[in-house]
């Protein structure tokens, strides 16, 4: 596992590319040159597995960011 996405999600690059490609086709994200931009966060959250809320809550608890916007995303799961 060499890419940051592979390390972050513990999956092979092909799986990350497949999931990102599907979300890109749906217009939820833009995946270009290794940079993923979230275009439609509400839809992305609806498409995420149920662990998103748990991971976000725990991430916010362990790594609070004073003044951070409520819509900051640190970790997302994609089916």
Residue 16 counted as domain residue:
yes
| Amino acid 19: pLDDT | 87
Q: Is the pLDDT of residue 5 over 70?
A: no
Exposure letters 25-37 (e unless 16+ CB within 10 A, then b): eeebbebeeeeee
Residue 12 counted as domain residue:
yes
Q: Please choose, from the candidates 8, 19, 13, the residue with its C-alpha nearest in 3D space to the C-alpha of residue 47.
A: 19
| Residue ranges making up the domain that contains 19 | 4-47
pLDDT digits (tens, 9 = 90+) for 6-36: 677 677 888 888 888 999 999 999 988 778 8
Q: What is the mean pLDDT of residues 54-76?
A: 70
Residue 78 counted as domain residue:
no
Total of domains in the chain: 1
Residue 31 counted as domain residue:
yes
pLDDT digits (tens, 9 = 90+) for 37-64: 999 988 988 888 777 788 778 888 888 8
């Amino acid at each position: 596992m060499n890419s940051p996405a592979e390390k972050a999600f513990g999956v092979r690059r092909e799986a990350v590319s497949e999931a990102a490609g599907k979300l890109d086709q749906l217009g939820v994200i833009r995946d270009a040159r290794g940079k993923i931009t979230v275009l439609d966060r509400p839809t992305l959250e609806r498409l995420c597995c149920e662990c998103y809320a748990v991971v976000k809550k725990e991430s916010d608890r362990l790594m609070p960011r004073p003044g951070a916007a409520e819509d900051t995303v640190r970790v997302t799961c994609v089916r």
